[in-house]
Amino acid sequence: MWNNRIDQPKPGYYWTRLVRDGPKIGARIWWDDTVPERPAVLCGSRNGMEVDPYHLWGYVADREISEAEYLKLIGELPSDDPDLDPTEAVNLNKLPPVW
């Protein structure tokens, strides 16, 4: 059963896509409390770029992943598909055969 509320983003690591049938990319929501003069601020990033965490949450709420998988998706760990472009759909007819 899904227990996430759509109006309350939960900090964590997630996956999403930029385009339909595109490759998976990493997304992250976290509390930023690095400035001592202000309260913690909810932040979000998708594919390493800052985004609105409330907007992002609607796309990633049911797609939680581990930190290791997140690092792989954003390119900090070796990937199985280094040539995939997250802004383009995957066309299986143009990929080399797996055998």
Share of the chain above pLDDT 70, in %: 86
Q: With H, G, I as helix, E, B as strand and everything else as coil, classify residue 24.
A: coil
C-alpha count within 13 angstroms, C-beta hemisphere, residue 5? 2
Q: What does the pLDDT read at residue 36?
A: 84
Neighbours of 89 (CB within 10 A): 12
Note the pLDDT tens digit of each residue in 67-82.
Answer: 999 988 887 655 556 5
Mean pLDDT of the chain: 82
Note the pLDDT tens digit of each residue in 15-33.
Answer: 999 888 888 889 999 999 8
Task: Identify which of 4-13, 21-30, 81-90 has the greatest average pLDDT.
Answer: 21-30
Based on DSSP, count helices (H) and strands (E) in the chain, helices before strands. 2, 4
